[in-house]
A and B are shown apart, each in its own frame.
Chain A
């Protein structure tokens, strides 16, 4: 507790010093809270956030500091709360939280070429940890099972208005403040803007201990009101221990200047594989889930209300339970969240 108070005091001091001396420091962040009700009256769908059933619960308070002076910049982002601690961050060596979501420095060698090092939100995937960056409040299976952060060193190059490249080396474990042994994962990204409003990122991250993931993240603002997003990924776990494949579509339509309605339609499959248990070969069967989430974003200034209904359906029993406690293939839930961005 003392450590947290000290951290907050230092942050406050930094904020007010910054205000007095340098207006180029950017401070942003969010606060989020939610109510969730699972229609089987028990906790069922294993989404990353919005975990608590029949409860008014908190997400996190998230604060990001950014400063750029000439060519050098830093980002430091800290978070407190379930979403910003055990649900998205690793612990330190003694089991304590560092609260760090992003901590990196960057240097623009030229206007087009930049070098970045530190602990960064992953470049893989469509959804992010910050509730401000997502349309849906609950998260996809692709997000939950993919990397959250990757610590490493990367070089980014903007070829022209339509093409950008990134390559880097990253720690041998996802979501870790330090490597288990080596800084030996390779990651790369090709960013494309085929036409105005359409962005596409082809990503790869591979390493002996963390497997290989290929990812396509793309979004196209087709009209001022209609946006279509897509995320597809394939992860092969290390040592041929399965992995996953999935695809999610994100159509969204703005119905007024303050309200947007969207659907997330996801198919996600755990790959089957064979493993050895006590000298015996055991087949782990493939299983898959289809999840449909209907979400609205209703804005009132910096506050966004997010009502959401979600239905998940596995191909086999055992992942969910009915109201009476018997296994079920399906589960559904309602969420009402509020996110304040600053």
Chain B
């Protein structure tokens, strides 16, 4: 049992995509900021969801202060090289959850959905209407090559989101305006 627990703990901190209990792809991480209290961590996570990305890339969906839980939705474009330039190929949408407990926090990205893009009559790349394919169905509906590519890029994006969240939780880039308020200096006093 102990060995299984260790193995599970190890798997839960692996920096890669895994499957959750519902067989959905998940990128799950646990981190801590020992010198920062719970409220501050929560506020920084909230600040991250509100400001770290433009709203079409990540936005706050729900905040639950009593449960110290925040959820957001986001998406990123997958571009493929064609001729000499990159073209939008698909958008991968996801849900992000951040939870705080003591001086620790955990976050996970899941519910990945692939929205293929196509060129319209005006040479603009637009989403294919009505096509939203859960990543779990990718191999069957999108083919192995494309799905492998999406998974690679998805993992890279998850790491970027995670790295940015960590910087918000740890550094001044993640401080809310209240925290970054400058201290007043009274020049009359030495």
Contacts and interface: CB of A to CB of B under 8 A. Distances in A.
Interface string B101-119: 0000000000000000011
B140 A198 contact: no
Contacts of A66: 123-124
Interface residues of A, number: 42
Interface stretch (A128-136, A261-269, A306-314): A128-136
Contacts, number: 85
A130 B119 contact: yes
B86 A121 contact: no
Contacts of B88: 26
B65 interface: no
- Contact residues on B (Cβ < 8 Å of other chain), bracket: 20 to 34
Given A257-B142, A257-B143, A342-B83, A221 B131 contact: yes
A342 B130 contact: no
A19 B85 contact: yes
B66 interface: no
A198 B129 CA distance: 7
A74 B117 CA distance: 20
A247 interface: no
B149 to A, nearest CB: 12
A25 B83 CA distance: 12
A132 B143 contact: no
Nearest to A198: B130
A26 B125 contact: yes
A224 B138 CA distance: 12
A19 B84 CA distance: 7
Given A128-B121, A133-B121, A27 B143 contact: no
A197 B133 CA distance: 12
Contacts of A257: 140-143
Q: 7 tightest A-B contacts by CB?
A: A197-B130, A221-B130, A64-B123, A257-B143, A121-B121, A27-B85, A342-B82
